[in-house]
């Protein structure tokens, strides 16, 4: 293929670039939208879990407050009855009924006791004649003995007795004081911790979540289900999550469990004005399990969609590239003479018009060579059309090999006639190139021992800024110069008058 033709402009690949850019931006937009939606759904799942946990804590708070109020009423009734002077003269049965008339309604009730100032039992709700016992070592007794303003006191969990089915209990107690404020004893009511187990079990929080009840010192009073053995009455205040709960009293946060190292959502609230905190620890894995399944499905579908879009874009780009190549080949074929490989007449006309306009703007010279193979009809008669075609191809190759600059163009004008456009070339430069072409063709190898060499006649016409000739006149003067060369003996170069 001729170098002159290889320099023809290629089709632009801007549409391919825009297609790739558009597809890439579309994929990024899809991924961004899906990511935003998944993040929002994640936040919604977390918010829903917080609302659920908050509702659970509120239910527990209300139930615990109601029951603590019943126990407190029993204690207040017991204290009020001890202040009655008329009970000294009634029978033991009546006195027992009056002392403990408010205790029957308390659920999961243990013993309600009245202790004197030494901690000895002087009245027992379960026995008409109380069994001897001293509870001066208990935390509730010591608290009321030392602090007249302790109010309702909730003890640490304790073991009631080794034979009881529900061993763990807590005690609610109030101070019994004389009218002058002297310490007279303690009224105490115990409650089985199985109450909390029953209450917590009635709430569905999932298989890997817990409900916890702790006091303000971080002592665990109840937990359902138990994560570790011997957790009841254990001081948890040193654990980071519990320390934060004790510090904030109400709120919600996400943290890592110090027991199994799993993430959990902790929602907690103080039980009224009591020194108790309910903490619901929901498993983050269970909270986000539906979201993870939906996210996996959506992400997979989005990935397939994006990959499909990118694949289709790639296939379309490949098709566009094939089309570009086909267009390039077709463009070259449309601009090329099939026999010689030089530019054809159509390309010659377009390029000559282009270079003429450029020369007019720049005032640079423009030269045109018209070349005709001498005695070609006789050569064709001697060697046939195949030999003639070979001769034309050889001549075209010589002409093209003498065209060095990118702007120069060699073309087949028609039949055995050729043309060469030489932009930015004056008459002397064009004459040198023309002579190279003429002499090189003259020394081409002869075909089939032919005694006559292949020669060409060349007409040269040049336009410069001093010339008033038009493009048509430039062509006409080159053609006339060629005519003079052929009629002047052939195998020669004739230059047209540049002032024509």
pLDDT digits (tens, 9 = 90+) for 205-259: 777 888 999 999 999 988 888 777 778 889 999 999 999 999 999 999 999 988 7
CA distance 494 to 355: 23
- Locate the domains of the chain by residue range: 1-334, 336-495
pLDDT classification of 186: cutoffs 50, 70, 90: very high
Distance CA 318, CA 305 (A): 20
Contacts of 423 (CB under 8 A, 6+ apart): 355, 358, 359, 364, 366, 405, 407, 408
Mean pLDDT of 407-427: 93
CB 107: neighbour CB atoms within 10 A? 14
pLDDT, one tens digit per residue, over 294-322 is: 999 999 999 999 999 999 989 988 888 88
The per-residue pLDDT of the chain, averaged, comes to 86
Tell me the per-residue pLDDT of 74-129, one tens digit each, with 9 for 90 and over: 888 888 888 776 666 666 676 666 666 666 555 566 778 889 999 998 888 777 77
pLDDT of amino acid 71: 86
Contact 266, 250 (CB under 8 A): no
The more confidently predicted of residues 386 and 81 is 386
Burial 186-208 (b: 16+ CB within 10 A, else e): bbbbbbbbebbbebbeeeebeeb
According to CATH, the superfamily of the domain at 1-334 is PAS domain (3.30.450.20)
pLDDT > 60? residue 1: no
Helices (H), 222-288: 240-248, 284-287
Mean of the pLDDT values across residues 454-463? 94
Q: How far is CA 326 from the centre of its chain?
A: 39
pLDDT at 50: 92
pLDDT at res. 102: 60
What pLDDT sits at residue 18?
85
What is the C-alpha separation between 436 and 413, in angstroms, rounded? 20
pLDDT, tens digit, 9 for 90 and up, residues 341-353: 899 998 899 999 9
Q: Residues 188-195: what's their mean pLDDT?
A: 86
Which architecture characterizes domain 336-495 according to CATH? 2-Layer Sandwich (3.30)
pLDDT recorded at residue 2: 44
Q: In the predicted model, what is the mean pLDDT of residues 162-168? A: 64
pTM of the model: 0.61
Confidence of residue 500 (pLDDT cuts 50, 70, 90): very low
Query: What pLDDT score was predicted for residue 7?
Result: 45
Position 288 pLDDT exceeds 50 = yes
Residue 200 has pLDDT above 80, yes or no: yes
On whether the CB atoms of residues 223 and 211 are closer than 8 A, the answer is yes
Residue pair 366/356 in contact (Cβ under 8 Å)? The answer is yes
> What average pLDDT score do residues 51-56 get?
91
Share of the chain above pLDDT 90, in %: 45
Q: Select the highest-mean-pLDDT range: 17-26, 90-99, 422-431.
A: 422-431
Cis (ω within 30 of 0) for the bond into 311?
A: no
Cα 240 from Cα 246, distance rounded (Å)? 10
Q: In sequence order, which residues have a C-beta less than 8 Å from that of residue 376 and are 6 or more positions away?
A: 388, 391, 415, 416
The confidence score (pLDDT) of residue 159 equals 83
Span 271-276, mean pLDDT?
Answer: 90
Residues in a beta bridge with 458: 371, 493
Strand 109-116 and strand 183-192: the pairing is antiparallel
Considering only CA atoms, which of 437, 347, 427, 351 is closest in space to residue 396? 437
Percent of the chain's residues with pLDDT above 70: 89
- Torsion (CA) 92, 93, 98, 99 in degrees, nearest 10: 60
């Amino acid at each position: 293929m001729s170098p002159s033709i290889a320099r023809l402009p290629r089709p632009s690949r801007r549409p391919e670039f825009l297609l790739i850019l558009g597809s890439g931006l579309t994929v990024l937009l899809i991924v961004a939208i899906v990511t935003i939606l998944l993040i929002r759904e994640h936040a919604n799942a977390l918010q829903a879990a917080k609302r659920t946990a908050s509702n659970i804590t509120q239910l527990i708070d209300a139930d615990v407050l109601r029951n603590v109020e019943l126990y407190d009423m029993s204690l207040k009734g017991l204290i009020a009855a001890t202040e009655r002077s008329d009970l000294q003269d009634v029978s033991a049965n009546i006195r027992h009924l009056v002392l403990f008339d408010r205790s029957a309604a308390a659920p999961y009730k243990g013993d309600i006791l009245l202790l004197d100032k030494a901690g000895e039992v002087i009245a027992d709700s379960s026995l008409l004649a109380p069994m001897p016992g001293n509870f001066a070592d208990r935390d509730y007794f010591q608290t009321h003995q030392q602090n007249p303003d302790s109010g309702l006191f909730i003890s640490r969990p304790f073991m009631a007795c080794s034979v009881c089915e529900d061993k763990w209990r807590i005690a609610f107690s109030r101070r019994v004081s004389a009218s002058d404020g002297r310490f007279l004893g303690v009224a105490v009511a115990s409650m089985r911790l199985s109450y909390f187990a029953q209450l917590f079990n009635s709430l569905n929080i999932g298989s890997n979540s817990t409900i916890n009840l702790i006091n303000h010192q971080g002592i665990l009073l109840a937990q359902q289900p138990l994560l570790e053995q011997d957790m009841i009455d254990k001081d948890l205040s040193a654990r980071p999550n519990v320390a934060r709960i004790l510090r904030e009293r109400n709120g919600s946060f996400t943290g890592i469990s110090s027991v199994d190292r799993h993430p959990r959502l902790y929602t907690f609230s103080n039980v009224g004005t009591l020194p108790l905190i309910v903490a619901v620890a929901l498993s983050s894995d269970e909270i986000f399990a539906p979201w993870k399944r939906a996210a996996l499905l959506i992400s997979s579908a989005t990935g397939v969609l994006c990959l499909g879009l990118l694949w289709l874009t790639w296939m379309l780009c490949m098709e566009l590239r094939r089309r570009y190549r086909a267009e390039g080949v077709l463009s070259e074929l449309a601009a090329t003479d099939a026999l010689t490989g030089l530019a054809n007449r159509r390309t010659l006309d377009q390029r000559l018009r282009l270079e003429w306009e450029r020369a007019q703007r720049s005032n640079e010279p423009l030269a045109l060579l018209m070349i005709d193979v001498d005695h070609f009809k006789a050569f064709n008669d001697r060697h046939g059309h195949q030999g003639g075609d070979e001769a034309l191809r050889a001549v075209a190759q010589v002409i093209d090999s003498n065209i060095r600059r990118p702007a120069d163009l060699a073309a087949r004008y028609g039949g055995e006639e050729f043309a060469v456009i030489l932009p930015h070339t004056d008459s002397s430069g064009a004459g040198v190139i023309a002579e190279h072409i003429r002499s090189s063709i003259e020394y081409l190898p002869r075909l089939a021992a032919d005694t006559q060499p292949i020669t060409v006649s060349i007409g040269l016409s040049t336009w410069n800024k001093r010339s008033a000739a038009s493009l048509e006149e430039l062509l006409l003067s080159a053609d006339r110069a060629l005519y003079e060369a052929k009629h002047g003996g052939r195998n020669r170069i004739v230059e047209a008058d540049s002032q024509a």
